[in-house]
């Protein structure tokens, strides 16, 4: 097998939300494949990087830049820094996202009829507008260079409705808990935004695909895990490393004829 097909050696790749659970896993994976990684996140936290990677890579391998993905000027300034250190990115992973955490207040995770408008706006601004702006700025730069790959991290809840029965155990104990609509709507929007970018930039050598993920284990309640596992054909939630291969594939030359597509890695969730 020619492993060079999946090589990312020397390629500058931007990961938004690179200090999150998946972001750090993606960073580690891409560095191991020889990529140069630029993390775009609101705050630079070296301790988290050292813990996740076991060391702090040099600036020839890793840049950590404070970036607000909802502000075009912030993205443009960060891109200038990437170009100053290396050159125009050849990959963009739109990973930054907000969701209402399970421990959020009653209004945040309550009935759809009462979901706060400001919560909707906040999630849509990061999850959809953030992808739009980062893709505009960095994808545009890649189009000028004539080469690049955009991977936007989507969700099974962008394809199908959240299964509210997973949270029935919380309602049975007196909580008004429902998975909110904003996250699902924001991730669904990425699918057609990606198709638009794929057809728009295809003549200029830039590919765009979505990577649709299932739920990732993160010390959730046992009751939730039991219900989730029963709902998945493979019988478990994903571990962050389960997505490594798909990400490398989409960013590498192994997927050179793939654009405007949606790669689903969900343990079979959407198969039934």
- The three state secondary structure string of the chain is CCHHHHCCCCCEEEEECCCCHHHHHHHHHHHHCCCEEEEEECCCCHHHHHHHHCCCCCCCCEEEEECCCCCHHHHHHHHHHHHHHCCCCCEEEECCCCCCCCCCCCCCCCCHHHCCHHHHHHHHHHHHHHHHHHHHHHHHHHHHHCCEEEEEEEEHHHCCCCCHHHHHHHHHCCCCCCCCHHHHHHHHHHHHHHHHHHHHHHHHCEEEEEEEECCECCCCCHHHHHHHHHHCCCCCCECHHHHHHHHHHHHCHHHCCCCCCEEEECCCHHHC
Residue written as token pair 């820094």: 81
Computed over every residue of the chain, the mean pLDDT equals 94
Min mean pLDDT across 69-73, 217-221, 256-260 is at 217-221
Residue pLDDT, tens place only, 54-91:
888 888 899 999 999 999 999 999 999 999 999 999 99
* Average pLDDT estimate for 12-28: 96
Look at residue 264 and tell me whether its pLDDT is greater than 90: yes
- Per-residue model confidence (pLDDT) at position 102: 63
Is the pTM above the cut of 0.75?
Answer: yes
Triad 221, 121, 92: Cα angle to 5°: 80
- Per-residue model confidence (pLDDT) at position 107: 80
Residue pLDDT, tens place only, 104-144:
777 888 899 999 999 999 999 999 999 999 999 999 999 99
- What is the spatial distance between Cα 124 and Cα 180, in angstroms, rounded to a whole number? 12
Domain ranges of the chain: 3-106+123-161+181-219+239-262
Q: What are residue 205's phi and psi, to 5 degrees?
A: 85, 10
List Cβ neighbours of 117 (8 Å cut-off, separation of 6 or more): none
At 95, list the tokens.
Answer: 């990973």
- Please give the CATH topology (third level) of the domain spanning 3-106+123-161+181-219+239-262: Rossmann fold (3.40.50)
At 200, list the tokens.
Answer: 């728009």
Label residue 17 left, alpha or beta by phi (over 0 means left) and psi (-120 to 50 means alpha).
left
Look at residue 192 and tell me whether its pLDDT is greater than 60: yes
At 190, list the tokens.
Answer: 């990425």
- Per-residue model confidence (pLDDT) at position 54: 83
Look at residue 2 and tell me whether its pLDDT is greater than 60: no
- What is the spatial distance between Cα 119 and Cα 185, in angstroms, rounded to a whole number? 13
- Per-residue model confidence (pLDDT) at position 3: 65
Look at residue 229 and tell me whether its pLDDT is greater than 50: yes
* Average pLDDT estimate for 261-269: 98
Measure CA of the first residue to CA of the last residue in the chain; give whole Å: 34
Number of other CB atoms surrounding residue 126 within 10 Å: 21
Look at residue 204 and tell me whether its pLDDT is greater than 60: yes
Query: Which of residues 99 and 199 earns the better pLDDT score?
Result: 199
At 98, list the tokens.
Answer: 């907000």
- What is the spatial distance between Cα 72 and Cα 96, in angstroms, rounded to a whole number? 15
Look at residue 1 and tell me whether its pLDDT is greater than 60: no
* Average pLDDT estimate for 229-237: 97
- Per-residue model confidence (pLDDT) at position 188: 97
């Amino acid at each position: 097998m020619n492993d060079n097909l999946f090589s990312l050696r020397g390629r500058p790749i931007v990961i938004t939300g690179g200090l999150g659970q998946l972001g750090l896993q993606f960073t580690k994976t891409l560095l191991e494949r020889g990529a140069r990684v630029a993390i775009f996140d609101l705050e630079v936290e070296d301790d988290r990087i050292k813990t996740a990677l076991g060391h702090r890579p040099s600036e020839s391998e890793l840049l950590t830049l404070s970036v607000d993905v909802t502000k075009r000027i912030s993205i443009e300034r960060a891109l200038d820094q990437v170009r100053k250190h290396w050159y125009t990115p050849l990959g963009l992973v739109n990973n930054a996202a907000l969701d209402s955490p399970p421990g959020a207040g009653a209004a945040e995770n309550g009935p759809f009829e009462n979901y706060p408008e400001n919560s909707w706006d906040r999630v849509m601004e990061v999850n959809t507008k953030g992808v739009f702006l980062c893709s505009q700025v960095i994808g545009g730069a890649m189009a000028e260079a004539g080469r690049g790959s955009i991977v936007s991290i989507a969700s099974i809840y962008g394809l199908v409705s959240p299964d509210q029965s997973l949270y029935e155990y919380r309602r049975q104990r007196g909580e008004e808990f429902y998975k909110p609509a904003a996250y699902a709507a924001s991730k669904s929007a990425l699918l057609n935004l990606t198709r638009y970018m794929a057809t728009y930039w295809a003549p200029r050598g830039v590919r765009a695909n979505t990577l649709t993920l299932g739920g990732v284990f993160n010390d959730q309640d046992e009751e939730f895990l039991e219900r989730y596992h029963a709902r998945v054909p493979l019988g478990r939630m994903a571990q962050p490393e389960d997505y490594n291969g798909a990400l490398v594939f989409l960013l590498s030359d192994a997927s050179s004829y793939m654009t405007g597509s949606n790669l689903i890695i969900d343990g079979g969730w959407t198969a039934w």
